[in-house]
Structure 1
Amino acid sequence: MKRFHIALAVANLDESIADYSMRLGQPPAAVVPGLYAMWRTDLLNFSINESPEKAGQLRHVGFEDDSAQDYTKSEDVNGLEWEPFSAMEQDRRIVDTYGVAIRPAGSWATLPG
Structure 2
Amino acid sequence: MKRFHLALAVRDLQTSIADYSVRLGQMPNAVVDGKYAMWRTDLLNFSINQNPERAGQLRHLGFEDDGAEGFRSTQDVNGIEWEHFSATAQNERIVAMYGIPVSA
TM-score by structure 2 length?
A: 0.98
Q: Distance in 1 between matches of 2:5 and 2:24?
A: 14
Q: How many Å apart are 1:82 and its aligned residue? A: 0.2
| Paired residue secondary structure (1:39) | strand
Q: Which residue of 2 aligns with 1:14?
A: 14
2:24 counterpart of 1:27: no
Q: How many Å apart are 1:95 and its aligned residue? A: 0.3
Q: Distance in 2 between matches of 1:7 and 1:50?
A: 11
User: Gaps (5+ residues) in structure 2?
Assistant: none
Q: Distance in 1 between matches of 2:4 and 2:42?
A: 10
Q: Which has the higher strand share?
A: 2
Q: How many Å apart are 1:62 and its aligned residue? A: 0.2
Deviations 1:25-57 (A, max 9, x none): 000000000000000000000000000000000
What is the root-mean-square deviation of aligned Cα atoms in Å?
0.8
Which structure's CA Rg is the greater one? 1
Q: How many Å apart are 1:70 and its aligned residue? A: 1.6
Q: Which amino acid aligns with 1:59?
A: R
Q: Which amino acid aligns with 2:5?
A: H
Q: Distance in 2 between matches of 1:70 and 1:39?
A: 20
Q: Which residue of 1 aligns with 2:81?
A: 81
Q: Which residue of 2 aligns with 1:97?
A: 97
User: Gaps (5+ residues) in structure 1?
Assistant: 105-113
Q: Which residue of 1 aligns with 2:67?
A: 67
Q: Distance in 1 between matches of 2:90 and 2:13?
A: 19
Q: Distance in 2 between matches of 1:72 and 1:94?
A: 14
Tell me the percent identity: 66
Q: Which residue of 1 aligns with 2:56?
A: 56
